[in-house]
Amino acid sequence: METLGASLVHVAPGLVEIALAPRPAILQQHGFVHAGAVAAIADSAAGYAALTIMPAGAGVLTTEFKINLLAPAAGERILARGKVVKSGRTLTLAQSEVFADAAGKQRLVAFLTATLMTIEGREGLED
């Protein structure tokens, strides 16, 4: 997260937001945030959202995610909003919407769904 310049900006039960202020190192040749960086914050937001509802002493691990890249991630701020879709004993499904703020407008640029596995005895996000 530090490498990308991302930070947690909102945490509530089942809902986490991560914001990214784009740096040159994560931009691709046309000045958009690289898909890998978009996926990384979207996956992290989904994982942390799942973590907020885990019992004490349990962590989570992403087993798979799919991301649809809908528009170029260009703007002053990229925001990933992760939320839990359904929690289960072993597996939890979470989603993330990723928005780009540019010139006072917010645009949906990516949509991710992720499966998180509950890991007993290890706290935190295992990504």
Binding site for its own copies (CB under 8 A): 2-4, 25-26, 28-30, 32, 34-37, 39-41, 43-44, 61-71, 85-86, 88, 90-91, 93, 95, 108, 111, 113, 115, 117, 124-127
- For residues 4 and 79, which CB has a smaller minimum distance to its own copies in the complex? 4
- Determine contact, residues 51/35, Cβ cutoff 8 Å: no
Name the minimum Å distance from CB 55 to its own copies: 18
Please report how close the Cβ of residue 12 comes to its own copies at its closest, in angstroms.
20
Choice between 9 and 61, CB closer to its own copies: 61
Least separation, in Å, of the C-beta of 77 and its own copies?
18
- Supply the DSSP string of 2-70, one letter for each residue: TTTTEEEEEEETTEEEEEE---GGGB-TTSSBPHHHHHHHHHHHHHHHHHTTSPTTEEEEEEEEEEEE-
Q: Which two tokens stand for residue 64?
A: 């798979």
Query: What's the min distance (Å) between Cβ of 89 and its own copies?
Result: 11
> Reduced to 3 states, what is the DSSP secondary structure of residue 120?
strand
Give the Cβ contact number of residue 93 at 10 Å: 15
> Do the beta carbons of residue 72 and residue 109 sit within 8 Å?
yes
